[in-house]
Amino acid sequence: MTLIVVLILLFPLLGFLVLGLGFRNIPAKVTSILGPGTILISFILSILTFFNFTISPSHHFTISLFHHLTTSPVHELFSWISVGDLQIPFGLLIDPLSILMLLIVTGVGFIIHVYSIGYMKNDPGYNRFFAYMNLFVFSMLLLVMGSNYPVMFIGWEGVGLCSYLLIGFWFKNHEYNNAAKKAFIMNRIGDLGFLLGMFLLFTTFHSLNFQEIFAGAKSMEPGNVTLMAITLLLFVGAVGKSAQIPLYTWLPDAMAGPTPVSALIHAATMVTAGVYMVARSNILYALSPTTMAIMGITGLATTLFAASIAIFQNDIKKILAYSTISQLGYMFLALSVGAFTGAMFHLTTHAFFKALLFLAAGSMIHALGGEQDIRKMGGLSKKLPISRLTFLAGVLAIAGIPPLSGFFSKDEILLKSFEFGHFIWFIAVIGSLMTAFYMFRLFYLTFSKDFRGTEDQKHHLHESPAVMTIPLITLAVLSILGGLLNIPAIFGGNSSLEAFLSPVFTDAGAILEHQTPLTPSTGWILMGITLAGVLVMILWAYQRYVKQDKGLLPDEASRSVIITLISKKYFVDEIYNLIVVKPVLWISQFLHRFVELRFIDRMVDGVGQIVVRTGNTLRFIQTGNVGFYMFIMVLGIILILFFNILI
Amino acid sequence: MLTILLLLLPLVLSLIILLFKDERSIRTVALTGALVEFGIGIAAFIQYKTSCHCNLLFSADWLSTLGVSLKFGMDGISLLLVAMTTFLLPVIILASFNHSYTRPAAFYSLVLFLEMALVGVFTAFDGLMFYIFWELALIPAWFICAVWGGDDRIRITFKFFIYTFAGSLLMLVALIYLYFRTPLPHSFDFQWLYAVKLSPVEQIWIFLAFFVAFAIKIPVFPFHTWQPDTYTTSPATGSMLLAGIMLKMGIYGMIRWMIPICHQTLQQWGSIAVILAITGIVYASLIALRQDDLKRLVAWSSIAHMGLITAGVLILSQKATTGAVIQMVSHGINIVGLFIVIDFIEHRTKTRSIAELGGIATRAPRLAIFFMIILLASIALPLTNGFVGEFLLLLGLFENNTVFAAIAGLTMIFGAVYMLWMYQRTMLGKTNELTGAIPDLTRTEMATLIPLVVLIFWIGLYPSFFLDIVLPDVQQILRFMR
């Protein structure tokens, strides 16, 4: 078992090393096999792990910490850092939660790798691209498999690095490089929070291993201040990685990377790391109601904020980026109301449909020779039928139309938040109405009506090759059927994902168990309201963008103040620039020019000069006149006597 | 025996090399000699790891009437620093082959002499010996910078010399004072000096003398003003020796002498010194943000890194001190790597100004990859050597004082900002007239950088190997804490 677990991790690393070290000498054909191949092997091994885990009863272990485990889910490979009482093993944890993530990362990762064969064809950095992608999958796997916070942190920073490398993949463009740097630095701000959270965990529990920490936490009181501090610090890390307010501005810029990167890293996997981390630490969070409240507010605010920006964007990838931020907000909302399974379920379906949306968008961008402005698209249905159908599946899924996957996962979050508070539910529903609106706006502006681009582009319009469309179709199927993973009882399902993940979440569930579950009839009503709203939104979008031809205003066109504010993304980047970047640079200048050169350095030189001057002065004392020396001596004796009397 | 061999070999070599005339054979002798020395270093390492933890002691009487003895030895801390020194020297010498220094015999003789002095500092178990080697190291370092340096070198190196020399005189005063407090017959033996019982006031004065001496060397804010100029004006080899190895003398001195002797003062007043060190982290990081000269930027980053190490040493924590030793080695590797990369860039483009560079990755992808790896190590990415030390240092600080750790932790963010900015402006973007036709790394150049990268990942992946060597002796030094 340990061997398989290690191999899952090792293959992508191997792929990275081979492609990275021989980057000039490996022909593209070999790369096309090697790059996706390593991920495929990891995927197959992950499936093996999954079956091994579910079928054989001897492996039916839980994280339940009251009992000693017969088979440990933790595979410790070697001692990584050990100093005195600090013992950090390089350990991997295989439990339902990590298995779910393994399957998503390797499964969706493999599909996106295959798609990249077509998308990145003819790029001079073909091998480099696959090397980075393999390294990313390795880091992401380490993140989800780590059996303690530091090993998770290796992956956590590793995916940040890969994100940096891939956003700035076309490194001749300084704007892309700036976007990459911004992503890394904003992530690092969050990472400092994560690091301090780890330190506080260590001083509290004297361990950094999940098992020991969670076992220790269970005996603590809900509302414990230390736990609140820990969870808040870790949440700062999640805010950075998962692009929540206030650290979200790097994600839209990250769209500078090649589209498969946006699909894999900035939609399906890396940005969900924060959600995974909170779900992993569920017990800590369940015991910290204040943190949960802050997380809920952050999530909800991010959902609405990002969704409102998405409505007025015209870059197809930016719309999807804001939509990702908004959906991640949903996941944090779910976590904050204790719907850990709901968050993981939405994470899963979101990985399917958002990856699909990005890849389909990539297919369009590809067909249009790099054009990303939806005002210059339109009428793509005829030439791109597969892209259109698959994109539509993604749009329907994210909008929450039954029986597509997004419907089930979003509905679960909405119902849980209704249990928690009606107002929360109401806001969350508004968010999902906005989602439906901007997604259909996007869909109509790109596919309906006539083509609005140049004649040249029109001639080149083509459907993507099979190596790109087959991944699209696969993801479309997953987006449609993904809901089957967790059909709730209300539809006669048995919530299989919930059952699968329950060992991880039981303890937290027991702590949070105080709401009365909804009656089925309330559930039906709420569902009906949401669905009706969504349909209205779709119709409205149809009315505006198909019937009335709106939404094609150029950037310069005059708009009302509020719409200008939103379409300029609330000027958040500008504000950050003004209150953070500029002052820091100014302080830097001030410290160097003034404090360093005018003050400290001068003082040091001054001391030196004083010594020289004193020497110059003192040499006059050495007169060689014995009488003078006698005089000084007597004077000295008198002074000493005088001081003796005084003291 | 190995200890004394490590000490004598570079000394003998530094004399022999003066007999040679042509550059080729001088280089060969220097490199071979340094490699043999490294071999002995490894032998000492293996002996220590496998057979004995016996301090590899060598002791002989010298000026026995004065209580001075030739006592040299290595505990885990010394061993690691000696290993680092002997490892870095061949790398630095190999990197220097890009330059054709005038009077090469003198140059490499001084380099080897410096190695001898450094080994002496790290192995002296006698107070006066420590002082003698400490000063002996300054002389070749000063000559290297003053003779082969760049613009304005006389003024800058004069300041460097006087400043550090003044500091070390304070240390000498402290050592002599302690010597006279040892029981008759007086002795400079470190065990005797450790055993001296000082009154609190005496201890404060001794502490101040030691602290200023070491703080200037490291350098700790606000004693750092000699450093950026000196690093910038030194020849590439000089910067590497200074930043990579020499400044560790200060931290080493703190661990070996200041902590055991002045720990009561440190426990009481240490936080003031810690605040200085932490101020330095933020101060130097902020200044590094806007430097245009590559060497100067790295010099400032070094002040920030050393600030963290110093803070970790001053709080008397087992984790932080262990982390400090590991971080000294890592910092040595990383900063030598950075200076080598900068030297390669300057060698190709004749400039170190960030504003004039750009697009090098297009022309020299190998150089870009090595640069990236070393850069990631110096911003402490996990699985590189920089992370292990920084993690332990910050964790130690956190256990001591959460606010200190939070402020010191800013180095994680600032480090990323200035390092990535530097990388972007030099390596990425479009090429220009200066960078448009530069060649990628040669084989020799690759051979220079590969050992560094191997160690970056070795320490990052399996630090236990090194931590196990250091920890027992750190516990030994901090035994008063229990």
Q: What pLDDT digit, counting tens, does each position of B184-213 carry?
A: 778 888 888 888 888 888 899 999 999 999
Tens digits of residue pLDDT in B256-287:
999 999 888 888 888 899 999 999 999 999 99
Tens digits of residue pLDDT in B63-117:
777 777 888 888 889 999 999 999 999 999 999 998 888 889 999 999 999 999 9
Q: Does B286 touch chain A (CB under 8 A)?
A: yes
Report residue B52's pLDDT band, with 50, 70 and 90 as the boundaries: low
How far off is chain B from A78, nearest CA to CA, in Å? 9
Tens digits of residue pLDDT in A425-438:
999 999 999 999 99
Q: What is the pTM of this model?
A: 0.92
pLDDT recorded at residue A537: 94
Tens digits of residue pLDDT in B383-429:
999 999 999 999 999 999 999 999 999 999 999 999 999 999 999 99
Angstrom CA distances, B33 to A2, A221, B40, B44, B385, stand at 46, 65, 11, 17, 27
Report residue A71's pLDDT band, with 50, 70 and 90 as the boundaries: low
Q: Where do the H-state alpha helices sit in A242-339? A: 250-253, 259-263, 273-280, 282-286, 289-311, 316-336
Report residue B53's pLDDT band, with 50, 70 and 90 as the boundaries: low
Cβ contacts of B248 within 8 Å, gap of 6 or more:
B81, B84, B328, B331, B332
Within 8 A of A158 by CB-CB distance, chain B residues are 381-383
Q: What is the mean pLDDT of residues A111-138?
A: 93
Of A105-119, A348-362, A499-513, A601-615, give the lowest mean pLDDT range: A601-615
Task: Supply the mean pLDDT for chain A.
Answer: 89
In the DSSP assignment, the letter for residue A463 is P
**Test mutation, A81, A85, A161, A187, chain B, max B CBs within 10 A:** A81
Peptide bond into B472 cis (omega under 30): no
| CB-nearest partner of A185 from B162, B413, B427 | B413
Distance CA A394, CA A479 (A): 7
Decide if A177 and B424 are in contact by the 8 Å CB cutoff.
Answer: yes
How far off is chain A from B327, nearest CA to CA, in Å? 14
Within 8 A of B388 by CB-CB distance, chain A residues are 81
Tokens representing A36 are 């996706």
**Assign residue A93 a region: left if phi > 0, alpha if psi is -120 to 50, beta otherwise?**
beta
pLDDT, greater one: B175 or A552: B175
| CB-nearest partner of B287 from A168, A196, A596 | A596
- B-chain residue closest to A605, CA distance: B159
Of A310-314, A343-347, A612-616, B135-139, give the lowest mean pLDDT range: A612-616
Show which of residues 441-480 on chain B sit within 8 Å of chain A, judged by CB atoms: 462-464, 467, 471, 475
* Residue A354, CA atoms < 13 Å, CB-side half-sphere: 33
CB B187 within 8 A of CB B67: yes
Residue where the block lists tokens 């938040």: A417
| CB-nearest partner of B391 from A81, A174, A595 | A81
Show which of residues 209-228 on chain B sit within 8 Å of chain A, judged by CB atoms: 222, 225-226
pLDDT recorded at residue A58: 46
Q: Which residue in B429, B163, B237 sits closest to A611, CA to CA?
A: B163
In the DSSP assignment, the letter for residue A221 is P
Q: Does B428 touch chain A (CB under 8 A)?
A: yes
**Helical pair A96-119 and A466-481, crossing angle rounded to 10 deg:** 150
Domain residue spans of chain A: 1-59+72-205, 288-567, 571-646
pLDDT recorded at residue B482: 60
Within 8 A of B413 by CB-CB distance, chain A residues are 185, 188-189, 192
pLDDT recorded at residue B433: 87
Tens digits of residue pLDDT in A384-415:
899 999 999 999 999 999 889 999 999 999 99
pLDDT recorded at residue A264: 94
For residue A90, give the H/E element and its range. strand A86-93
Decide if B382 and A154 are in contact by the 8 Å CB cutoff.
Answer: yes
Decide if A181 and B420 are in contact by the 8 Å CB cutoff.
Answer: yes
A59 pLDDT higher than 60: no
Cβ-based contacts under 8 A for chains A and B: 126
Decide if A584 and B410 are in contact by the 8 Å CB cutoff.
Answer: no
Cβ contacts of A347 within 8 Å, gap of 6 or more:
A104, A272, A275, A276, A331
Q: Does B280 touch chain A (CB under 8 A)?
A: no
Distance CA A29, CA A399 (A): 39
ipTM over 0.85: yes
pLDDT recorded at residue A4: 87
- B-chain residue closest to A78, CA distance: B462
For residue A198, give the H/E element and its range. helix A174-205
